[in-house]
Amino acid sequence: MLLTREKLIKDLGYEIKDEIKCFSLYKDGKSVKVLNIPENVEVIGKECFCNLSNIEKVIFPENLKVIDQSAFWGCSYLKEIVFNKNLEFINKTAFSFCNVKALTFPENLKRLGPKACSAIKNLEEVRFLNKNTTIAEGAFEGCLSLKEVNLPDNIKKLEEKTFFNCTNLERIDLKNIEQIEKHVFVNNYKLKEITLPKNIAVVNPQFLTFDYKHMPFQMPYRPKKINMHNVPDKYLEYFKENNFVNVNNISLDFLLDTGKSFKEINSIYKIAER
């Protein structure tokens, strides 16, 4: 069954009250703080529970397969989410602006959609039980309290802005990542060291920064250390221009396995062709 906001009211007997500066969900005259989704629901429709501020906990049924776009967007008091193991898709902005502290995604989750968990200000920890879950662009953008992420083992690509503005991110194991798109780690002020895997193939030179040459400001943050393995020559000059020089007069070392500084590396490698 597809659960929509209309069915929630007409068929299931829920009521949505327009209260001061917010909307709240009621059943039988009582505020719904713990929400149990009916067992026959396979899809939670677009914006079904959007902006309902009184829900604190949601429990999903075993048959649920899809949580659609913005289904729980703006549920600002939602502190606990109990996922079912058969859930396969969490779509765009499904849980944006909620209030959970930890998320453990289930073993059958295939895809976490664009900005699916963005702007969850109290989210501290993220775990994936499925080694093959894919993560779309901006999935955790603006999660200001996020400290640690355990990526799926088989994920190959980090999409644009995956961890953009996660200002407290301290640790992340990139495991088997082969491709990193732009702005993935912008404004990660507490991420002091990044280790790029040996099988890295494509790295957008702006993965740590905006293109500051075309912006009215300069980004002040760079990690103190980048560990690189077998980096193609063509990326060296890109990193130099976009990530490691002329940024608030900060001089940073660009390190390979050899421990050489960027000046030493620059004297060895040829400038990449545009």
Q: Return d(Cα 111, Cα 143) in angstroms, integer.
A: 19
The domains of the chain are located at 1-92
Alpha helices (H) along 30-187: none
| pLDDT, tens digit (0-9, with 9 covering 90-100), for 58-101 | 999 999 999 999 999 999 999 999 999 999 999 999 999 999 99
Lowest mean pLDDT among 16-20, 139-143, 223-227: 223-227
Is residue 22 within 8 A of residue 51, CB to CB? The reply is yes
Domain 1-92 has CATH 3.80.10.10: yes
pTM of the complete model: 0.78
Residue holding tokens 């040829």?
A: 270
